[in-house]
Structure 1
């Protein structure tokens, strides 16, 4: 019969210590530095303040509590372990007033040490820089499943890419057109919910130029994981050039080209213009809760980092997205209200038609 006796003390540690070490190593994977969604490499003042709050006092309080609790536990395990042949019952301290007061007050003090600076920081982060500053003000509208960005100061509307200026404060007014979303650019700032019928605010200053990853952080439906965006942080000169460009009408393709054929399909038989606009401007007096178009604005589409809110903006991905939206992003409006209907009516676009529309959209730059 197999020996079912418990493993001896030394042999037990042979298994416990490697497992504990493995757990310790894997618990930190992907947390520190370098990842697109890492909060430990802040590139904005809000993200930096949140990270600093985590490191002091949260991190060091956690380390202190871990050392004290683990050390006290090990001391008691070693000092008060049962000796061979010892059958005595240890002293019972149930209902000991001093112990109960101590283990009630100590956690309360720890929580207070965390809550006080956290509350102070919450109010600091939500402070509007004021109308007399040069803060850039942008309206952010969440949709299932993409992000719309409006610049009332310039009358510009775009989607997918949020353009900001390095070292210039930004005030985002955030809402939703359908369900609750959560706007989160991890290296630049924290999370703010996008709630239908409510306007929430996020204030921060980008401290580095570059392209930064963003993600919806609130479960909002089947394609929640594919509700991404990019934040393009530019110099003031680059941003001014981008604004000047987007204040101009989107370019028309040369007559007789494949792109011109694509434009005709886009505005006519393909039905794309029923949901999408290629006009980069809008009336800035339009309320934030009023829908401009069903789908994202596609003006200057070719300059964007992504398409369908998550795919790299390449010719191959764009062709696949138009030809088979249901496979690329099921349950999206494009898949449900355009691709499926055309499939049921046996009116899906041919490869030549898709190529023409792709060429037209790629000419929008």
Structure 2
């Protein structure tokens, strides 16, 4: 017994170190334990019920096991076989009924909430409609009520329910904003899935793709930004303003011919790639390069990230479908100029 205790004492520092390391593995903004809306709160309630039931079962089983081990352990000189209880109908009914009751307690609220959170609220009065399309490896958000399509940042007003229609342009993806709602797949069979979310707390919430979808699945982040209703209206108005192209006419023509064949700015451009309108106001470039607005004085994190992205898109996000600007004939100087232009293409809201 003493040897076992000494061995356990030697393991305690190691266990403490692993506990400390694991405590830093999570991100609060990606935690389902930090709900910021009614859907996430309801899902946390289901998690709490499940864990409570499991903990209750574990405690009861361990208590019974400990009691049996102590009460009915074989004593010195005791060799007779203990009284057997097989065929005891009362006990069999009890240990069959209790698990069944626990399953029912868990199943009823789970079924209610799962169906409720996947309900199609698209046509309900007052909701904000947003069509979500997953791409390799970015997210597209369309607002049919306002004739707006943007990318990587879903802007929504606080205290207003958002009805989502989710689809994919290629492979299976899964839309997930842990602080606001659970995971919903976008299926490549052409079907549309539905979900809704809302929050009363202004702020930025991190979203991820929760389904392995290719080489850069881990880099498929997006943002959900909840703002006051007045800010949302100002964003809509600013987004719909006419496009502003680079001042240099030669650069503007090259940008229009190459970049706007896939992307859009304002009322110009295509729809194959992410819409670039107001990209200088976004918190990230390519979803993962953070635009630190509190960077060093005189620096331009947005421009630096754009230069990095335009210079080596496959290094930043391997497997993406964006052509390398250098292969399209853009020089390093032109990439700098386009990065500067896009970094200053901001929306005031």
Would the TM-score normalized by the shorter structure come out above 0.5? Answer: yes
Residue in 1 aligned with 2:305?
A: 317
Residue in 2 aligned with 1:300?
A: 278
The 5-angstrom pairing of residues 229-248 of structure 1 reads 229-248=222-241
Which blocks of at least 5 consecutive residues in structure 2 are unaligned? 292-301
TM-score by length of 1: 0.81
1:215 aligns with 2:208: yes
Distance 1:130 1:162, change over 3 A: closer
Cα distance in 2 for partners of 1:14, 1:348 equals 69
Cα distance in 2 for partners of 1:98, 1:348 equals 83
The 5-angstrom pairing of residues 1-365 of structure 1 reads 9-16=1-8, 29=23, 35-55=28-48, 57-83=49-75, 101-129=93-121, 131=123, 133-196=125-188, 197-253=190-246, 255-256=247-248, 262-268=251-257, 271-279=258-266, 293-313=271-291, 314-334=302-322, 338-339=323-324, 342=327, 349-365=330-346
Which blocks of at least 5 consecutive residues in structure 1 are unaligned? 1-8, 283-291
* 1:93 CA displacement: 6.2
Cα distance in 1 for partners of 2:268, 2:128 equals 17
8 Å CA contact 2:240–2:266 kept in 1: the answer is no
Larger displacement relative to structure 2 (88-97 or 40-49): 88-97
Distance 1:195 1:208, change over 3 A: same
1:334-357 Cα distance to aligned partner (Å, 9 max, x none): 2xxx22992xxxx66432121011
Please give the root-mean-square deviation of Cα atoms over the aligned residues, in Å. Answer: 3.1
8 Å CA contact 1:250–1:364 kept in 2: the answer is no
Distance 1:157 1:281, change over 3 A: farther
Cα distance in 1 for partners of 2:341, 2:45 equals 47
8 Å CA contact 1:277–1:299 kept in 2: the answer is yes
1:111-139 Cα distance to aligned partner (Å, 9 max, x none): 21101111111232234457452110000
Cα distance in 2 for partners of 1:132, 1:50 equals 22
* 1:169 CA displacement: 0.8
8 Å CA contact 1:184–1:214 kept in 2: the answer is yes
Cα distance in 2 for partners of 1:73, 1:231 equals 49
